Amino acid sequence: MALPRWRTQSSRRVLSLGLLLLTIIACTSAQATRERISINAGWRFSRFTTNPDQLSYDTLKSWILPSANDFITRTKYKRPSGTPPGSDVQYVQDSFDDSTWDAVDVPHDWAIKGPFGAPGISGGEGKLPYNGVGWYRRKITVEAADVAAKRNLYLDVGGAMSYASVWLNGVLVGGWPYGYNGFRLDLTPYAKAGDNILAIRLENAPNSSRWYPGAGLYRNVWLIKVSPVHVAQYGTKITTPSVSAQKATVAVSVTLENNSNNTEQVDLVTEIFELDPATRKAVGDAKAKISRVSVDVAGGAEKTVNSTVDVPNPKLWGPPPKQTPNEYVAISTLYVSGNKTIDTYETPFGIRTIIYDANKGLVVNGIGEYVKGVCNHHDLGSLGSAFNVRAAERQLQTLQEMGTNGLRTSHNMPASELLDLTDRLGVMVMGETFDTWKRQKVANDYHLLFDDWHEADMRAYVRRERNHPSIVAWSIGNEVPDQQYAEGGTYAKELQDVANEEDGTRQSTSGLNSADPNKAISNVLEIIGLNYQGEGHGTDTSSTYPNFHSKFPNKMLWTTESASTVSTRGTYIFPVTPNITAVVSSSAGENTTAKYVSSYELYSPSWASSPDKVFVQQDKFPYAAGEFVWTGWDYLGEPTPFDSASRSSYFGIIDLAGFKKDRFWLYQARWRPDIAQAHILPHWTWPSSRVGQVTPVHVFTSGDEAELFVNGKSAGRKKLAQSQYRVRWDNVTYQPGDLKVVAYKGGAKWAEDSRRTVGAPAKLNVTADRTTIRNDGYDLSFVTVAVVDDKGDVVPEASNGVAFSISGPGEIVSTDNGDPTDMTAFPSTSRKAFSGLALAVVRSKKAAAGSITVSAASGGLASGQVVVQAG
């Protein structure tokens, strides 16, 4: 049974099915075709804050480097002879009793449960205990028939943070140090029929990241069983060299690997089907078929088969709303002895063209697609770095609602499944790899690995993800200090060359922060990526766009990072700057006691600016291809400007819990001008001390004019002048009552919004983003509690304590409220509301169907509940 690599939600069911199947097969004969078996369930785990085993990357390194061999072009590493290190460590032994260790399923982030305030871990790293050594153990069962048939057994790890080293039956197999990259290890030589003990050691040094990196086996883990002759790891490459309405020429390259000692003759057939976005399965009849070719693959060698085929009337992949993200899947089947299938390999892909135009920007299928992108880190808020498809989908869907069409996976490779989502949803991705090269930013970052691993990390990543239509560019680095030096150009060329060797259909970029057209790196990069440099820092409006555009008239350029506006949802701090941007400080935008930043959305650190200023500058340089805003969602760590006090960022347009900050509507107004909307800030429920005080009212709208009414009286109708992105009434005096705005477009009424002075908290309103979820043990419902007054309006500054409870086949995994200063551990079922809202993340239980009731209670308030169906 071939399991497509993108089917992750059902992986636990797949595990039990897989085991069942294996058991059945054991009684008969070895499975002939590829099996991809989830081994996410059933691990034992322990974390040690002091090294429990005397091992280290340095002692293991010469045994781990050969794991890179498939991804380096220089001389391959030889596995050292003799007994590999670690065989005497008790945790790798079958006899070790791990029953007192934690029973965990992966994806697992050992640090996310907290507590906050981990010794030696800064606010920049999220204050969570990600450091230390972690051991994971699990039994895997191998059927005698598989051994007899000499089937190959691989371990595929989607990502392990970090310095993974893997033992099977007490023998060190290999490993992969960079925690963001996926890797495969060949377990075949060390496996035996029956039970095998798999042990994985991870080690995270503190001070290894500028944000919260997460910790553990935090992505999916698979066992792959294949015949000795099979499609190699990441062994397909599909491109669409020519596309018209009538037909697309699809080039398919399939690399076969033969791990037997003899030359084998195999037949290869590849068929192309449409991919159903909902089921992720091939639908209908084949749209094209590459006729059978017979191939001799020498023992111990690889062979690549290149073919082209035409797909008639292709349905193209492109980003909405202008285009539709249609997908195809190529199914390659290997036969021996006539019609005996020995391998089936599925490659989802898309048909599209891309032009990187120095004046028009990105042109996808002939259509200009200005990049309205965001940067995101990999964590999923209170779920930490443990990858979850639904949590990632929620992030992307909320961003798309804002008009986002681009994502930068800052500053590293994401889970592969995230790219399946961006393919399906139609989000254009800048696939980033590194935050540092050879020169460090923090003491234990990637610079320690660069020399040995950068080629393998880059090559493995591009080979793995090159068939995703959503990837529109590779990013080889972010603000790497090496950019200043001549060798920055050398490294850039090397990394970019790797991308071209493995792919060759996308251009590469890098986020430059001391961008200079005369630096070696600028000469090398195919796309110039500017971090903040295109819009000028702080209040300064100088731009480096023109310098680059004149020096490199044929290179596309874009803003790889913009804005870095900081704010705390629902928090307004006075006085408000009269300018369109201001550098945040104790006298501008900050509440230094509470550690909050004003949500007037005008404040940023000195290197950055408000969205308004970015827009003004962008409008001056229409040849630039667009931007990636720092950031779409808040993330764990880097809580500028309160770096030592808080636990999560202030940069997000959407807070850590997924609640929208005011900025959401500012971006939506610019990015989705077709959506009729107007959005007023601030709230209008202030204590008596504000009565009579100047309280500016700002409105974000996709209209071009707006009239504000304060307690029924017009405060003036104003047109948005050129280079204005908000309508502002800066002299409004606060009196309790109501605000109403009527927005116009082209003179006609377009949208309205209102605020009123609300009453005291009266009850909890409980709602779920989805009231039906799959009972697969992965699917989530995000449950929001709003503290409302007796009329049902959210009480804007409510901070009532909320106690969550649950009954039925589900569990509360975590809670949050988006407050970057809240040090309540994420698994806590008690959480204060922040700016009127709190969140519980509810997960289904595997194979348990029924009604899940999530209740929220708070002293003195009417409680609320919501029912979610799992099935």
Instruction: Name the residues that contact ligand GAL, by CB under 6 A.
Output: 478-479, 513, 531, 561, 564, 605, 608, 630, 638
Residue closer to ligand GAL (CB basis): 255 or 559: 559
Q: What angle do CA 163, 374, 542 make, to 5 degrees?
A: 110
Residue closer to ligand GAL (CB basis): 22 or 656: 656
Q: How far is the CB of 839 from ligand GAL (least distance, A)?
A: 25
Q: How far is the CB of 478 from ligand GAL (least distance, A)?
A: 5
Strand order in the sheet with 772-773: 772-773, 864-870, 850-857, 801-807, 830-832
Q: How far is the CB of 564 from ligand GAL (least distance, A)?
A: 3
Residue closer to ligand GAL (CB basis): 143 or 634: 634
Q: Quote the CA–CA distance of 79 and 487 in Å, as a whole number.
A: 31
Residue closer to ligand GAL (CB basis): 479 or 776: 479
373 burial type by CB count under 10 A (0-12 exposed, 13-18 middle, 19+ buried):
buried
Amino acid identity, position 867: V
Q: How far is the CB of 527 from ligand GAL (least distance, A)?
A: 17
Q: How far is the CB of 531 from ligand GAL (least distance, A)?
A: 6
295 pairs with which residues across the strands? 266
- In angstroms, how far apart are the furthest CA atoms of the chain? 89
Q: Quote the CA–CA distance of 648 and 806 in Å, as a whole number.
A: 27
Q: How far is the CB of 350 from ligand GAL (least distance, A)?
A: 29
185 burial type by CB count under 10 A (0-12 exposed, 13-18 middle, 19+ buried):
buried
Q: Between the CA of residue 712 and those of 368, 470, 471, 588, what are the distances in Å?
A: 44, 49, 51, 31
* Catalytic entry in 479, 590, 705, 797: 479
Q: How far is the CB of 20 from ligand GAL (least distance, A)?
A: 46
Return the C-alpha torsion angle 52, 58, 62, 67, nearest 10.
70
Residue closer to ligand GAL (CB basis): 23 or 514: 514
At 795, phi and psi to the nearest 5?
-85, 110
Nearest CA-CA partner of 60 in 78, 83, 84: 84
463, containing H or E segment: helix 450-465
CB contact at 8 A, 545 and 534:
yes
Q: DSSP per residue over 138-187, as a string?
A: EEEEE-HHHHHTT-EEEEEES--BS-EEEEETTEEEEEE--TTS-EEEE-
493, containing H or E segment: helix 486-502
**Which two three-digit tokens encode residue 293?**
């070719």
Question: Which residue's Cβ has the minimum distance to ligand GAL?
Answer: 564
Q: What angle do CA 314, 346, 260 make, to 5 degrees?
A: 140
Residue closer to ligand GAL (CB basis): 376 or 677: 376
589 pairs with which residues across the strands? 585
Residue closer to ligand GAL (CB basis): 96 or 607: 607
Residue closer to ligand GAL (CB basis): 604 or 815: 604
Q: How far is the CB of 213 from ligand GAL (least distance, A)?
A: 13
844 pairs with which residues across the strands? 810
DSSP character at residue 242: E
CB contact at 8 A, 241 and 247:
no
Give the E-state strand segments of 711-798 in sequence order.
713-719, 727-729, 738-745, 748-756, 763-768, 772-773, 780-788
841 pairs with which residues across the strands? 782, 814
Which bin fits 716, alpha (ψ -120 to 50), beta or left (φ > 0)?
left
Q: How far is the CB of 375 from ligand GAL (least distance, A)?
A: 7
Residue closer to ligand GAL (CB basis): 512 or 580: 512
In the annotation, is 479 catalytic?
yes
Q: Quote the CA–CA distance of 702 and 772 in Å, as a whole number.
A: 33
Nearest CA-CA partner of 660 in 849, 336, 401: 401
At 30, phi and psi to the nearest 5?
-65, 145
Residue closer to ligand GAL (CB basis): 376 or 844: 376
**Cis amide leading into 673 (omega within 30):** no
* Catalytic entry in 143, 327, 561, 627: 561
CB contact at 8 A, 334 and 266:
yes
Give the E-state strand segments of 77-131 in sequence order.
102-104
Cβ of 770: how many Cβ atoms within 10 Å?
16
Q: What angle do CA 299, 304, 310 make, to 5 degrees?
A: 145
Number of H helices, E strands in the chain: 11, 48
In the annotation, is 561 catalytic?
yes
User: What contacts 504, CB < 8 A, 6 or more positions away?
Assistant: 239
Q: How far is the CB of 111 from ligand GAL (least distance, A)?
A: 20
Q: How far is the CB of 576 from ligand GAL (least distance, A)?
A: 22
Q: How far is the CB of 730 from ligand GAL (least distance, A)?
A: 27
Q: Quote the CA–CA distance of 817 and 801 in Å, as a whole number.
A: 11
Residue closer to ligand GAL (CB basis): 481 or 546: 481
Q: How far is the CB of 475 from ligand GAL (least distance, A)?
A: 11
DSSP character at residue 382: G
Q: Quote the CA–CA distance of 382 and 834 in Å, as a whole number.
A: 15
Residue closer to ligand GAL (CB basis): 333 or 564: 564
Residue closer to ligand GAL (CB basis): 513 or 844: 513
Which residues are designated catalytic?
Answer: 479, 561
